[in-house]
């Protein structure tokens, strides 16, 4: 440790031999002539400036790529959420329409309601005989015409019951 410290280093006279400079052979130097003005026309930029520019460009490209990917993913997410909401609304509307159709179907097929509606219109249930009174002064032809007119009226009433009701 003492040898490395300059304060404790021995002087060359204390080494015990004469320190003479040794002549080392000089390497040969060759000169290569370039084209005129090329060295002056293109000065080399400082290395750290070049590295800084390259690193800045790489960081900008990476940030731009990440930003574009994030915007694309966000856009796709929003579109999928809107599509899901539209589908959910369509399903809810279809369910509501199906429930309304079930209610209408059960009302239309209710036999008591059908018989009450027919009775209020004066239509008799099938299978019951119709009794017509013949009064004095009516001929057999008039009674037959009245029966035909009554049958036609019943058929018209049944046709009116089968016509679907409109919402308007």
Per-residue confidence (pLDDT) for residue 115, from 0 to 100: 78
Q: Can you tell me which residue has the tokens 């520019």?
A: 53
The answer to whether 146 and 132 have CB atoms below 8 angstroms apart is: yes
Is pTM, for the whole model, over 0.75?
no
Per-residue confidence (pLDDT) for residue 71, from 0 to 100: 97
The answer to whether 161 and 118 have CB atoms below 8 angstroms apart is: yes
Q: Which phi and psi (to 5°) does residue 33 adopt?
A: -90, 130
Per-residue confidence (pLDDT) for residue 125, from 0 to 100: 66
Per-residue confidence (pLDDT) for residue 82, from 0 to 100: 96
The answer to whether 150 and 130 have CB atoms below 8 angstroms apart is: yes
The answer to whether 42 and 34 have CB atoms below 8 angstroms apart is: no
User: pLDDT of 27-51, one tens digit each?
Assistant: 787 777 766 655 555 666 678 888 9
CA 36 to chain centre: 66
Per-residue pLDDT of the chain (168 residues; tens, 9 = 90+): 555 666 666 666 666 665 566 777 777 877 777 666 555 556 666 788 889 999 999 999 999 999 999 999 999 999 999 999 999 999 999 999 999 999 988 888 888 887 787 778 777 666 656 666 666 666 777 777 878 888 888 887 777 777 666 554
Domain boundaries along the sequence of the chain: 46-109, 111-127+137-161
Per-residue confidence (pLDDT) for residue 168, from 0 to 100: 46
Per-residue confidence (pLDDT) for residue 12, from 0 to 100: 60
Per-residue confidence (pLDDT) for residue 75, from 0 to 100: 97
Residues 19, 162: Cα–Cα separation, whole Å? 134
């Amino acid at each position: 440790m003492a040898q490395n410290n300059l304060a404790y280093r021995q002087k060359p006279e204390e080494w015990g031999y004469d320190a003479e400079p040794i002549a080392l052979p000089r390497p040969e130097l060759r000169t290569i002539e370039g084209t005129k003005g090329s060295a002056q026309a293109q000065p080399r930029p400082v290395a750290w400036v070049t590295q800084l520019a390259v690193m800045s460009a790489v960081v900008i490209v990476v940030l731009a790529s990440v930003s574009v990917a994030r915007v694309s993913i966000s856009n796709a997410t929003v579109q999928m959420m809107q599509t899901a909401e539209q589908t959910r609304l369509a399903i809810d509307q279809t369910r509501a329409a199906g429930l309304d159709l079930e209610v209408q179907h059960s009302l239309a097929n209710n036999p008591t309601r059908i018989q009450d509606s027919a009775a209020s219109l004066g239509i008799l249930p099938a299978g019951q005989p119709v009794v017509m009174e013949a009064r004095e002064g009516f001929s057999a032809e008039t009674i037959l015409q009245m029966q035909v007119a009554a049958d036609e009226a019943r058929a018209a009433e049944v046709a009116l019951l089968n016509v679907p009701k409109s919402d308007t």
